[in-house]
Amino acid sequence: MNYVLQHRTKRGAALLIAISMLGLFTVLGMVYVRHMNIEIDQANMTVNETRTQNAAVAGIEAALGDLQRALLEKQLTQAMTKPLTYPLNTYKAIRGPEGLALDTQENRTLVATVSITDESGKINLNHAPASVLQAILNVDGTTARNITGSLPRGGARPEGLPEQQWFVSIEDLRSRNLLTPEQFAAVNPAFITTFTVADHAAPAGFLNINAAPVEVLAAIVDLPVETVRTFENRRPFSSLATLGTAAGKDPATFNYKPDPNDPAALPAALAFESRCFRLSCEAVFCAIEGKNERPLAKAHAEAVALFTPDCNGYQLVYWNTQQGASGA
């Protein structure tokens, strides 16, 4: 009797162990499957993010081509009226024997949308007279002269200022302690830039008076903003004389002064056309679910392009890419 009980007890224990082991393996299997699903989701997210990053870059490159064509054909206004939209193809993540193949799923879209803004109507911090900076930054003369004195343009460096160097971004005004935090917070970034000149040894034609905000135009001609509002609608100007007539003053009294040897010519800094543009691209990769679109990944790219005077070439003077939120 005892033998039978002992035998049954051992069989029961073995069954419990077997069931426990089966449960353990089941849990391990579920964890493994879950882990693999997470890995697949992460891989899909990485692929989607890479697609949108590439799409953002492609959107900038496509818009640069369209922008250059518009400049050459004198159709700039039409090119900047609304954002440019570029539907893009997507490709399978796995390379086949004949290379990458198109992703033919019809329930997904990849679109890059590019907005273009004119950078040429802004004051360049590296090449502005102190009188212009005083007006556009709303600072006193000493602060404005300290800013110009911090630049390697051959002038004397004010005592106590750091080594002279060109501004890379408008943030340098704060980081180099040329403006107080309160002064910098009051600066309007729509009025100033550092991107319109690539060769600091030969800055020319970088400030378009026809694209300048009224505040910038007022700083150029050295008049109150309220006065400039009365004649800004006469633009586009095509000569220094017409600008002087509209302003009601001798161009020799402007803050950007013409060459005394050629007073009828534009000052070297000024121009009647734009050559510098900021391109901002938003790329979105979406899954179409019925009548709705669910974003799978987003990316942003931004560039500033400086075109040559003949518009047959350009130089990228700023570039930045950012990854947006991703879906499953």
- Per-residue model confidence as pLDDT tens digits over 188-242: 999 999 999 999 998 999 999 999 999 999 999 999 999 999 999 999 999 999 9
Residue 158 has pLDDT above 60, yes or no: no
pLDDT band at 8 (very low <50, low <70, confident <90, very high): low
- Return left, alpha or beta for 179; rule: phi > 0 is left, psi -120 to 50 is alpha, else beta: beta
Beta strand ranges found along 4-144 (DSSP E)? 84-87, 108-118, 123-124
**CA 123 to CA 237: how far, in whole Å?**
18
Rounded mean pLDDT, 20-44: 68
Q: What is the pLDDT of residue 328?
A: 39
pLDDT digits (tens, 9 = 90+) for 99-147: 555 565 567 889 999 999 999 999 999 999 999 999 999 999 999 999 9
H-helix or E-strand containing 326?
strand 314-326
- In this prediction the pTM is 0.81
Give the count of beta carbons closer than 10 Å to the beta carbon of residue 252. Answer: 11
At 122 the three-state DSSP class reads coil
Which tokens go with 122?
Answer: 């802004």
* Nearest by Cα to 84 from 99, 95, 68: 68
Do residues 326 and 297 make contact, with C-beta atoms less than 8 angstroms apart? yes
Provide the Cα torsion 20, 21, 24, 29; round to 10°.
-140
Q: What sign does the dihedral 156-160-163-167 (CA atoms) show? A: negative
